[in-house]
Every structure is written in C-alpha cells, then in structure tokens.
C-alpha cells in the first residue's frame, strides 16, 4: 500500500508517514516508543510506584497484539464496533435509542491516501444522515477531518465539510468534528471557525491534555462558536504540548469544563472516568443547568454500568458508535489503550 508524507506544521523537525493506515515517524530516534501506553492509562501500569506482575503481563500482551489472529480481535471488536456495514451500524443505533440513549456515528478510516477516499467518506456520511432521517433515529455524526482530506488538501476538506454540514442542516441534524493529534489542532479549529460563519449545526472536540486548550476554548467561545465535546485526548503527545500526569489532565478537564459551562457553551462531557463524571455532576448542580444544556458521552462497549446509572438519573447520554471496514486498526488502538483488557483477552487465548 502507498505511503503518504504528511508535514506537521507544529513539529517542524519531524515528518509523519502514513503507511498501511498507521501513522509512523520517519525518524525512528524521534519516534515515541511503539508500545508506549498513553499517559492517561499509565495508572493501569503502576502499583504503588512500581510495575506489578499483572501489569507487566498486560504490557507483554499489548506488545504481542500485532500477532493476535484477526478472528480473535474480531470477537473482541464486536463490543466496541458496530459492524462493517451501514445497516449493522443503524441496528446498533436503534438498540441504543430504545434504551433512551442518543448516538454519534463515526465511519472508521481516518487515514486516507487520495482525494477519492475523501469524497467516498463524505458520501458515506451523507448516506448515514439520510438513513438516520428516514428511520427517525436519534443520532448525529462524528467526523475526523483527516478522513475528509485535511492533510492532503485543506480547500477540498473545507468544501466537503461545508456540503456535509449543509446536508445535515437540511435533515435537521448535527456534525461533530473529532479532534486528532496535535499536528491537526490549529487546522481543525480554523476550519471549524470557518464553518461556523455559515452554520450553527456543527461542533468541535477539545482535548484536556493539551496545554493550549484552555486558551482555544476561550477563543472559540468569543468567536460565538461554543459547541463542544470535551475529552482527555487519546494521542501520544510530547510533554511540551500536553500534560502527562493523569491528575493534571483531570484538573485541567474540570477547569475547562467549568469555563465552557459558565460561559454558556453546550458541552458533551465525554469520559468514563468516574472522578470526572462526579466533578461534572457537581458543576451541573452548582450551575443549576437543565438537561438540555449538556450531555454525557461514552464509547460503545465501555462501562455500561456507569452509562446506565447516568441514564437512570435522567442525564442525556450519547454513545459514540464507530463502524466500518477499518475496524481492525481501530480495535488494535482500543486494546493498546487499555492493557487490562488486552491481558484478559490474550491471556485467555494462551490458556487454551
Ligand atoms: C464519546 C467520546 C468521544 C471521544 N472523542 C475523542 C476525540 O475526538 N479525540 C480524542 O483525542 N479523544 C477522543 N476520545 C477519547 C478520550 O480522549 C479518552 O482517551 C478516552 O475517553 C479515555 O479517557 P477517559 O476520560 O474515559 O478516562 P480513563 O481514565 O482513560 O478511563 C476511565 C476508565 O474507563 C475505561 N476505559 C476508558 N477507555 C476505554 C476503552 N477504550 N476501552 C475499554 N475501557 C476503557 C477503563 O476502565 C478506564 O479505567 C473520546 C472519548 C469519548 C468517550
């Protein structure tokens, strides 16, 4: 498969390459260690300051993941991915709706190789919006701008997004722009602000681990575009760009959420971290917010118990529903994020 060179404006000395759908650093000495766990997961690896036997085992399992047979990963994937086809995804959305849960749909496959791929992804999203409308489902869409060509041709990406957001508006629907790695942050914000010049049915994601996010949030709110999802951030970023310590990330998350809520922005509070959920509930209560001024968001397949408790307590819940042919790459990422699960799954394999 082809290799696309992607120059990252915010990291002038480094080049990212996209090979077989995976981002790789072109200078190995500058690359993050391949099996490094994102900082927010490092507490899984720590037992009173040192690695426990169990966490070492999990780490080993993560390193072995690329060797795991695809059918096994697929078995695991069923929990996190709503199948490969639009029809399978719509059935998952329907089932969530029946439990009083909204959805946001993600077409897997953010790394594209040419403009044709970008058009194809945009067309799939248009079809999804049509089907959501036709079936009367409670769901919107989540889009990664790189899947619409952000790193290939920014003008094309803007044009495709303008069409998509306009199409969503016609269907009385909404488009959420996912946030990707730090090389995309400024471009994503700029494109979002450009879209907001003509449409209000589009929102953006902010990552609490980035040092710049607090300022970005204020800038976006002052531009009259405060419609956010807040999450911790999932990409491995260097210390000069992102907080590394889980406590600092959580404190920043809470502070940013307060900034958003007190300034009247609508916020999708995306987390499975019960400490952050607790803090968000406290803020919602203190600010006397109504059900339609915020929502909680969680990933498909993660912590149903917490999800159901929030729904039962009357909060609006939206579940992120990824689907598509590129489920394998997505699941490998999920497994790497959570070594506990990796250890459990692959551990069972080796026991047989
Ligand atoms: C709806 C939604 C949309 C998101 N969109 C983006 C985005 O646009 N850009 C971005 O960078 N990041 C995004 N993320 C990912 C986010 O940044 C975090 O990496 C992820 O949510 C884990 O952080 P946490 O707040 O759940 O806390 P953590 O402390 O990481 O997790 C709390 C607990 O939840 C469980 N858990 C969390 N994640 C998983 C998982 N994947 N599999 C299994 N168990 C898990 C674990 O038991 C863990 O102990 C999104 C997350 C959600 C929920």
Fold (topology level) of 82-323: TIM Barrel (3.20.20)
Output the CA 310–ligand 1 centroid distance in Å: 17
Output the CA 154–ligand 1 centroid distance in Å: 28
Catalytic annotation on 20? no
Output the CA 116–ligand 1 centroid distance in Å: 31
Residue among 349, 346, 303 nearest 59 (CA): 346
- What does the domain layout of the chain look like in residue ranges? 1-31, 82-323
Contacts of 286 (CB under 8 A, 6+ apart): none
Q: 3-state DSSP call for residue 294?
A: strand
Output the CA 17–ligand 1 centroid distance in Å: 25
Residue 117 dihedral angles phi and psi, to the nearest 5°: -60, -40
Q: Which atom of ligand 1 is nearest to the CA of 273?
A: 32
The structure tokens 């692959």 sit at 346
Residue 191 dihedral angles phi and psi, to the nearest 5°: -65, -40
Query: Side-chain half-sphere of 271: how many Cα atoms within 13 Å?
Result: 24
22-25 and 15-19 as β-strands: parallel, antiparallel, unpaired? antiparallel
**Does 177 contact ligand 1 (Cβ within 6 A)?**
no
**Does 338 contact ligand 1 (Cβ within 6 A)?**
yes
> Which whole-number Å values give the CA distances from 315 to 255, 280, 290, in the listed order?
21, 11, 9
pLDDT of 54 reads: 56
Question: pLDDT tens digits, residue range 276-300?
Answer: 999 999 999 999 999 999 999 999 9
Q: Which atom of ligand 1 is nearest to the CA of 253?
A: 25
pLDDT of 52 reads: 56
pLDDT of 340 reads: 61
Catalytic annotation on 178? yes
**Does 146 contact ligand 1 (Cβ within 6 A)?**
no
Question: pLDDT tens digits, residue range 74-108?
Answer: 777 778 899 999 999 999 999 999 999 999 999 99
Give the DSSP H/E element, type plus range, for residue 268. Answer: strand 266-270
Output the CA 155–ligand 1 centroid distance in Å: 31
Residue 139 dihedral angles phi and psi, to the nearest 5°: -160, 145
Residue among 158, 266, 256 nearest 206 (CA): 256
- Angle of helix 86-98 relative to helix 115-135, nearest 10 degrees, comes to 40
**Does 272 contact ligand 1 (Cβ within 6 A)?**
yes
| CA-nearest residue, atom 41 of ligand 1 | 334
> DSSP secondary structure string, 95-136?
HHHHTT-EEEEEES----SSHHHHHHHHHHHHHHHHHHHHHT
- Residues 188 and 179 sit within 8 Å (Cβ to Cβ): yes
pTM, rounded to two decimals: 0.82
In angstroms, the first-to-last Cα distance of the chain is 35
Question: pLDDT tens digits, residue range 118-130?
Answer: 999 999 999 999 9
**Does 149 contact ligand 1 (Cβ within 6 A)?**
no
Q: What's the CA gap between 210 and 240, in Å, rounded?
A: 9
**Does 281 contact ligand 1 (Cβ within 6 A)?**
no
| CA-nearest residue, atom 45 of ligand 1 | 302
Q: Which atom of ligand 1 is nearest to the CA of 272?
A: 26
pLDDT of 73 reads: 72
| CA-nearest residue, atom 27 of ligand 1 | 273
Contacts of 116 (CB under 8 A, 6+ apart): none
Question: Which of 271, 318, 335 has the most ligand 1 atoms within 8 A of CB, as the residue to mutate?
Answer: 271
**Does 234 contact ligand 1 (Cβ within 6 A)?**
yes
Q: Which atom of ligand 1 is nearest to the CA of 142?
A: 8
Helix, strand, coil content of the chain in percent (nearest 5): 50, 15, 30
pLDDT of 42 reads: 37
Other Cβ atoms less than 10 A from the Cβ of 305: the count is: 8
59, 176, 229, 334: the catalytic one is 229
The structure tokens 């790695």 sit at 181
Segments in the chain below pLDDT 50: 1-51, 348-352
**Does 179 contact ligand 1 (Cβ within 6 A)?**
yes
- Residues 244 and 272 sit within 8 Å (Cβ to Cβ): no
| CA-nearest residue, atom 29 of ligand 1 | 273
Give the DSSP H/E element, type plus range, for residue 327. Answer: helix 327-337
């Amino acid at each position: 498969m082809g290799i696309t060179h992607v120059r990252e404006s915010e990291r002038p000395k480094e080049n990212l390459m996209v090979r077989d759908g995976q981002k790789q650093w072109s200078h190995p000495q500058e690359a993050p260690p391949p099996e490094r766990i994102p900082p927010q997961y490092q507490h899984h690896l720590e037992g009173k300051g040192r690695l426990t036997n169990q966490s070492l085992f999990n780490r080993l399992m993560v390193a072995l993941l690329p060797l795991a047979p695809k059918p096994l990963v697929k078995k695991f994937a069923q929990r996190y991915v709503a199948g490969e086809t639009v029809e399978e995804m719509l059935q998952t959305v329907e089932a969530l709706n029946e439990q009083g849960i909204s959805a946001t749909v993600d077409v897997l496959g953010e790394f594209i190789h040419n403009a044709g791929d970008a058009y194809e992804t945009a067309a799939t999203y248009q079809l999804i919006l049509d089907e959501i409308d036709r079936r009367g489902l409670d769901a919107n869409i989540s889009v990664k701008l790189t899947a619409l060509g952000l790193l290939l041709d920014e003008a094309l990406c803007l044009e495709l997004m303008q069409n998509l957001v306009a199409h969503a508006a016609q269907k009385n629907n909404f488009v959420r722009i996912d946030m990707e790695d730090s090389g995309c942050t400024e471009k994503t914000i700029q494109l979002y602000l450009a879209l907001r010049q003509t449409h209000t049915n589009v929102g953006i994601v902010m990552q609490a681990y980035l040092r710049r996010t607090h300022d970005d949030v204020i800038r976006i709110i002052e531009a009259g575009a405060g419609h956010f999802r807040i999450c911790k951030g999932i990409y491995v970023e260097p210390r000069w760009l992102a907080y590394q310590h889980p406590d600092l990330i959580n404190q920043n998350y809470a502070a940013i959420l307060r900034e958003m809520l007190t300034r009247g922005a609508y916020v999708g509070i995306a987390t499975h971290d019960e400490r952050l959920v607790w803090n968000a509930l406290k803020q919602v209560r203190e600010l006397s917010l109504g059900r339609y001024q915020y929502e909680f968001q969680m990933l498909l397949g993660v912590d149903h118990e917490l999800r159901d408790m929030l729904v039962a307590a009357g909060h609006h819940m939206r579940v992120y529903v990824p689907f598509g042919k590129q489920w394998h790459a997505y699941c490998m990422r999920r497994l790497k994020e959570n070594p506990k699960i990796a250890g459990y799954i692959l551990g069972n394999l080796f026991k047989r």
